Amino acid sequence: MPISDAEAAVMETLWRREPLSAQEILDEVGAERGWQEGTVKSLLNRLLRKRAVKAVRDGRRYLYRPRISREQYVFGESKNLLDRLFGGRVAPLVAHFSEQRKLSRKDIAELRRLLEELDDE
């Protein structure tokens, strides 16, 4: 399911702490993003339609919880990026970053370690 950047900010808040009301979400991310209560409620409604969150009535308000884990979201976004830009292959992605000099020594060491682990399997 495609989740916009604004929706992802709401999801990140819910992944850190749940359940939360719309007001609590607004309190956490509203000021830095310039959002009003209506914006948060619109984003929550979109996420409800996408079945990314669920809502439970709590008195006069609703409490929201994620229906998908952050790991599921990251996997889907990563797969979408790889499929769209690199034909589903990881090697061209790594090559692109190495050509653009975006890999630090730490990144290279970590990639080597991961490759050694894969070779051992």
Same domain? 59 vs 106 = no
C-beta neighbour count of 54 within 10 angstroms: 14
pTM score of the predicted model: 0.82
Does 77 lie in the same domain as 58?
A: no
What are the pLDDT digits (tens) for 19-56? 999 999 999 999 999 999 999 999 999 999 999 999 99
Question: pLDDT tens for residues 59-76?
Answer: 999 999 999 999 999 999
* Total domain count, the chain: 2
CATH number at residue 89: 1.10.4040
56 in the same domain as 27: yes
Give the domain extent around 49: 5-66
